[in-house]
Amino acid sequence: MIFEKLLRMAKRKNRPIIRVGAEADGLRRAGKIASDILQATGKLIEAGKTTAEIDLAAADLIADEGCESAFLGYRGFPGNICISMNEEVVHGIGGDRVIEEGDVVKIDIGITTPDGWVGDNAMSVPVGQIGDEANRLLYVTEESLYRAIDHAREGELLSNLCNSVNEYVSRFGYSVVKEFVGHGVGKNLHEEPQIPNYWDAEEMKKRRGFKNPRLQAGMVMAIEPMVNAGAAEIRILDDDWTVETADRSLSSHFEHTVLVTDSDPEILTPRPRLFSERPQFMDAAGISA
């Protein structure tokens, strides 16, 4: 009798978390707020400012919405947002590094609303003129995000969504970061399922907690391609948080929180795309799609 009860509990624990009704509405509100703050923060990024100034400005924007940072204090993280530059991939901490013309600044903002729902999103911001090569990386990363979102449909295997990122960016000689992944979102910043930006069935069997469920309406996922212009390898800096490319190549990061529905995917963190259409510099890559 006890064994059967434990088995039922284990099965429930492994089920995807489904958000409908008031819960889905709570996540919609959280996503919209997170998106508004991300866009407002992006407009503040300019040459001459420090990453600490951007972090503090974002903290004010979060407080003005009556929310809290979902990142500050999370496992000891000391920043209000993640702000990473150029060769830094994710988890950068605001500090005295000065933003310069030609930089690529990645801002990742997570908030928790007063009723406990999390909104999480990220984008890469070019500072002034950054050149075609850097723009191409940003375009491809953002495009890979929307291609992945198109797979966030009821009945589709999670692996199809994950693989779509790697399959697309690899056409351009780019690499996905394997050590850090997307995730479910709800009352907690990180929930199941884990969402890598590639899929290797044999490798996933060896990695604890990586499952390949069929997606169900009501699942909420933060999908976040992290793409390097060079090799996939990364290293963590002495602050124990900032991740950078091992070869110090440029890296790009875009993220949306998405609700799986019984029809089209619903982006809960809506914002205009950085590239509203395929730019001309993509033609030089010799790849039509």
Q: Mind listing the pLDDT tens digit for each residue in 189-233?
A: 999 999 999 999 989 888 888 899 999 999 999 999 999 999 999
Q: Does a structural domain hold residue 9?
A: no
195, 206, 224 from 25: Cα distances, Å? 23, 36, 22
Q: Does a structural domain hold residue 271?
A: yes
Q: In sequence order, which residues have a C-beta less than 8 Å from that of residue 149 and are 6 or more positions away?
A: 223, 256, 258, 265, 267
For residue range 121-144, list pLDDT tens digits in order.
Answer: 999 999 999 999 999 999 999 999
Give the count of domains, the chain. 1
Residue 164 has pLDDT above 90, yes or no: yes
Gap between the Cα atoms of 220 and 266, Å rounded: 9
Q: In sequence order, which residues have a C-beta less than 8 Å from that of residue 208 and are 6 or more positions away?
A: none
Q: Does a structural domain hold residue 160?
A: yes
For residue range 28-60, list pLDDT tens digits in order.
Answer: 999 999 999 999 999 999 999 999 999 999 999
Q: Does a structural domain hold residue 182?
A: yes
Q: Does a structural domain hold residue 7?
A: no
pLDDT of residue 11: 40
Q: Does a structural domain hold residue 105?
A: yes
Q: Does a structural domain hold residue 2?
A: no
With CA atoms as reference, report the closest residue to 192 among 211, 166, 176, 207.
211
Residue 136: domain span:
18-285
Average pLDDT of the chain? 93
- CATH number, domain of 123, equals 3.90.230.10
Q: Does a structural domain hold residue 56?
A: yes
With CA atoms as reference, report the closest residue to 144 among 121, 166, 173.
166
